[in-house]
């Protein structure tokens, strides 16, 4: 532990001309007294660490000293390519490896390029979660990430949602969804962070198993075995995810509604439904606008219940034509609003 800290201290001083004890203590996550002891230990080991006294003082390396301990370990080299997603690295438990990799790269740069890492960091940043969402890191993410890196087979407990069964009770459609827990033996191929939600792309461990996608927040247990799997060289994670995401977006839309919408309402629909592609295709299929400038659209929706909450946000810029049950709900809502405001 101390040896790694001493190496990190040398790399920090090599990357910057001078650092105060306070700065080093913050970077190394130790006390200033420990920084003083570490500097003495480095000096005794032959590393020319010099301490400048006074308010503007600090620690520096004398005579342009450069360490040769800049070779990247495999884990450091791998996480270096994820440096643009610091939040994801932290959630997967890889922040320390990424920090060490960045320090080694900085130490190996020419003096004229020393500011390159900070220059890029001040100009580009990736914030994965959507607006107004409180991202929650799945507790089992680090264990899954470790298995993904090691190509290690895992047995997982998974809360699997049952198929939703729509039942007509009165005039409204109600949906029931129950969950049941199952166990799966998986070959974890890759992790995907989509809008703040983590997913695992994995293949069933039995021979000939197909690739599937699992939400990590539905995992109840993860146990990594000793066995490792041999990766399918033809598996392309970005391409697989793109295809599955498009397939999911289509299959979840199991119902349709017919609406009459104004130009202002058509502009609002992509935001209230959350699917610009579906709205764009519906607009392309629509005929000519009527005498009031409104278009009649057939919109794919997840369910009437979901459609009610999404389309209600468009207000008077949209009129539901079909199905009759949904139109009745909007009529009742309009009558209740009128009574409220009168």
- Quote the tokens at residue 48: 């020319």
Q: Give all strands (DSSP E) within the chain, no chain letters.
A: 49-52, 58-61, 152-161, 165-168, 173-176, 179-194, 197-204, 211-215, 219-228, 255-261, 295-301, 318-322
- Give the integer Cα–Cα distance in Å for 321 and 193: 38
- Length in residues, the chain: 342
- The half-sphere exposure of 233 on its side-chain side, counting CA atoms within 13 A, is 0
This model's pTM is above 0.85: no
Express the helix, strand and coil content of the chain in percent, nearest 5 each. Answer: 45, 25, 30
Q: Answer for the pair 240, 225: CB distance below 8 angstroms, yes or no.
A: no
Tokens at residue 28, please? Answer: 């190394």
Token couple for 84: 């643009």
Per-residue pLDDT of the chain (342 residues; tens, 9 = 90+): 676 788 788 888 887 778 888 888 888 888 988 988 888 888 887 888 888 876 667 888 887 776 655 555 555 544 544 555 556 666 666 666 666 666 666 665 555 555 555 555 556 566 666 666 666 788 899 899 889 988 999 999 998 765 544 443 333 344 444 568 889 999 999 998 887 788 999 998 876 678 999 999 999 999 998 889 988 888 889 889 988 887 877 777 788 999 999 999 889 988 888 777 788 888 888 888 888 899 999 988 888 888 998 899 999 999 999 999 999 999 999 999 999 988
């Amino acid at each position: 532990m101390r040896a790694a800290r001493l190496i990190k201290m040398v790399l920090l001083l090599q990357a910057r001309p001078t650092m105060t004890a306070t700065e080093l203590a913050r970077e190394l996550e130790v006390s200033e007294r420990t920084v003083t002891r570490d500097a003495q230990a480095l000096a005794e080991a032959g590393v020319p660490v010099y301490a400048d006294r006074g308010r503007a003082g600090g620690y520096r390396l004398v005579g342009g000293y450069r360490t040769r301990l800049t070779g990247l370990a495999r884990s450091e080299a791998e996480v270096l390519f994820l440096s643009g997603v610091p939040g994801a690295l932290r959630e997967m438990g890889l922040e320390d490896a990424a920090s060490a990799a960045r320090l080694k790269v900085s130490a190996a740069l020419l003096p004229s390029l020393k500011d390159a890492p900070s220059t890029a960091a001040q100009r580009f940043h990736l914030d994965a979660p959507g607006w107004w969402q409180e991202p929650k890191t799945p507790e089992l993410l680090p264990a899954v990430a470790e298995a993904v890196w090691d190509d290690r087979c895992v047995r997982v407990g998974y809360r699997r949602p049952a198929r939703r069964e729509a039942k007509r009770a009165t005039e409204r459609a109600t949906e029931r969804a129950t969950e049941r827990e199952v166990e799966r033996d998986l070959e974890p191929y890759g992790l995907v962070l989509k809008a703040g939600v983590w997913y695992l792309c994995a293949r069933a461990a039995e021979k000939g198993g197909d690739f599937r996608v699992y939400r990590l927040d539905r995992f109840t247990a993860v146990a990594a075995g000793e066995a490792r799997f041999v990766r399918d060289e033809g598996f392309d994670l970005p391409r697989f995810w793109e295809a599955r995401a498009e397939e999911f977006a289509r299959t979840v839309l199991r119902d349709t509604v017919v609406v009459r919408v104004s130009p202002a309402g058509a502009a609002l629909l992509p935001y209230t439904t959350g699917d610009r592609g579906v709205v764009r295709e519906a607009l392309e299929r629509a005929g000519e606008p009527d005498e009031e400038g409104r278009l009649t659209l057939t919109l794919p929706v997840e369910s009437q219940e979901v459609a009610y909450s999404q389309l209600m946000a468009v207000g008077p810029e949209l009129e539901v034509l079909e199905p009759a049950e949904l139109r009745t709900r909007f009529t009742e809502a309009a009558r209740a609003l009128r009574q409220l405001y009168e």
